[in-house]
Every structure is written in structure tokens, then in C-alpha cells.
Amino acid sequence: MTDGAPRILYLNRRDIAAVGGDESELYVAALADGLAQHAEGKTVQPLKPYLRASGNHIADRIIAMPAHVGDPGMSGLKWIGSKHDNPERVGRERASAIIVLNDPSTNYPVALLEGNLISAWRTAAVSALAARHLARDGFTDVALIGCGVIGSTQVTALLQQFGQIETVHLFDVRPEAADALATRIKDEHEVNVVVADSAEAAVRAGDIVVPCTVTDTPYIHSDWLKRGSLLCNVSIMDVHKDVFLNADKVIVDDWEQSNREKKIINQLVLEGSFSRERLHAELGEIVAGRKPGRETDDEVIVLNPMGMAVEDIACAAEIYRRAVAQQVGTWLDLY
């Protein structure tokens, strides 16, 4: 900014990809730092409000996700909309988002970024980072239920981060979605892909199990999970209560964010069968080395990642820094 007039850097999807925002490495590194800062109390993250103005589906909403990360760090907001039927009705991704970054020294906005690419990759990177600490050493099989944008990014991030993966098991209520993802994975990676006949068949095969559906009706039972498996409960409502009650360790990204909105953990707390005391850890505590991750090959571990604004802002801040350094993006005058 040469004349002191306020400007913001606008970064669309192509700009974000140009600085490394379309693969897992940037996100895993930014999250390892951001989650450790969260564990050390160096973040500010108000509870996110859900705006539900139209539609009755659980995935029809707009969520405001503000956070501050680091010192002096960066502040910002992800504003993420969703309509469950966008893919069939208007031929667009279910979710859409923008991220605003604010310079904490003035609180002026400094950047506006397309947010859905970042959101999908940071969600995938949470699972990949969690797998470093929580998956069984030498795991080989990944099960994905729900083969949309979030699911396909999850599998891609795991394949990028873990060369040891031998087989990916896919299931989707729309077989064409599973088939399309199977073709893409086989084209891009040297790995076996099995399109399963049922969610149960896929889950039973997975060392890492990742539900990424838009369901509000649980269908995964605890006895479907292999001993030694890690369940990354990305779409939150897929698992029956017994999955939490029978797991050896339950981990969340943030307890306050997880224990609300009538999600399964919140239902268990209200019924008196789960509590903060029964929680093993928040993920940041494990990443920061303050609590152990997996301790035996036999444990069944459930990670419940509600999705945190801290993650979005940590990743978007790194993308912004790279874009400024590499002169990528379009400056827009505010006045």
C-alpha cells in the first residue's frame, strides 16, 4: 500500500491454487501450528452462529466462523453457505464460502479469499494430521462414505500424506458418485479402489474411516469398526451413540464447539452418558505433545472434528502471506 489508502487482496480459486492451496502440504503445516496455538490458549474463537433462513435440511444454513490466531497473528471470518441440493438443483458445489482476513493492528480487512477450496482442504488436512498421531502404524486401508467435494478431498489428502495406503474403499448412496471418484483416484494414484456394496462393508474394511455425507440419520454402529481403527467423524451425524460410548478414546477439535446444536456428543451429554471428563483430549493438545495420541495398536479412536474457524484463518493467513510475497491476486481499493 503506497498511498496509505486501504486496499484488500482478492484471491480467487486459481490464485489460491497458484500458491500451493490445492494440495495438502500447506494445510497440514499451517494446521499443526494453528492447533498447537489453540491448545496453548493463543487463539480467540467465539461460538459460531448458524443462520437458518430457508430449507429444513440439516445442511441448509449459513455459518459465520470468526477467529484470531497467533501473536500478533491474524484475525478473520469464514462465512460459509450450504444448500444440500445445490449439486442436483443448480449444478454447483453444496457449499460456498468467502474468508475475510483482518490485520489485528488496525482490524482493517486486508484480504478476501474464495473459501470453499480452503475449507475442503483444511478439513482434509485435519484428518491427515490426526492420522499422524492417531492412526495405527502401518495402516493400509481407508474407507470413505460419501464421495462429494469433502470426501474426495479427504481421500486425496490421505493419499498425498501416506504413501503406505494400499486400498481405498468407497461407498455413496449415489453409486455414480462413488464410481466417478474411483475412476479419478485410479487415474491419479497407484492404489486399489473398491466400490463397496454398503456403508457397512466399507467401514468394516477401513483402518481409517471417514464419513463425509449430508445425513442426519446415524447408520454406523460401533461393532462395524475394526480393532485399531481411527474414525474421523467429518460429517458428524453418521455414527450411532454406541460409537462414542464404546471407543477407547474420543477426541474433539474443541469441546465447546462439539457439545452444542444437538449433535451426537451434545445428545449424550444431555442424557448424562458422556462428559468432558470422559473426553481423552482436544486434537491441539495431542499435536502440541501435551496429551498422548494412539498408545496401542488395538485402540479404537474416534475424532469428532466439528470444524474450527481457527483452522480456516490459520490456513488462509498462510495463503495470503504467500500471495503477497509472490505477487499473486488482485488488489481492490476499499474507498
Q: Which of 142, 234, 279, 300 binds ligand NAD (CB under 6 A)?
A: 234
| Per-position DSSP letters for 238-284, written without gaps between them | SB-HHHHHH-SEEEES-HHHHS-TT-HHHHHHHHTS--GGG--EEHH
3 state SS of 77: strand
Rounded to whole angstroms, how far apart are CA atoms 308 and 18? 25
Number of residues that bind ligand NAD (CB under 6 A): 28
- Interface with ligand NAD includes 125 (CB under 6 A)? no
| 172-191: contacts with ligand NAD (CB under 6 A) | 172-174, 177
- Interface with ligand NAD includes 119 (CB under 6 A)? yes
Q: Which of 8, 150, 202, 302 binds ligand NAD (CB under 6 A)?
A: 150
- Interface with ligand NAD includes 24 (CB under 6 A)? no
- Interface with ligand NAD includes 214 (CB under 6 A)? yes
- Interface with ligand NAD includes 276 (CB under 6 A)? no
Strands 167-171 and 192-195: parallel
Q: Which of 34, 73, 109, 148 binds ligand NAD (CB under 6 A)?
A: 148
CB closer to ligand NAD out of 121 and 139: 121
Q: Which of 59, 69, 193, 265 binds ligand NAD (CB under 6 A)?
A: 59
Residues forming beta bridges with residue 220, ordered by sequence position: 239
The set of cell numbers assigned to 235 is 460429517
Residues forming beta bridges with residue 8, ordered by sequence position: 332
**Phi, psi (degrees; rounded to nearest 5) at 267:** -60, -40
CB closer to ligand NAD out of 173 and 334: 173
CA 114 to chain centre: 16
Q: Which of 37, 45, 156, 235 binds ligand NAD (CB under 6 A)?
A: 235
- Considering 42, 48, 78, 262, which one is annotated as catalytic? 78
**Is 78 an active-site residue?**
yes
The set of cell numbers assigned to 258 is 462439539
Rounded to whole angstroms, how far apart are CA atoms 93 and 95? 6
Where along the sequence are the contacts to ligand NAD (CB under 6 A)?
Answer: 59, 87, 94-95, 119, 123, 145-151, 171-174, 177, 199, 212-215, 234-235, 305-307
The set of catalytic residues is 78
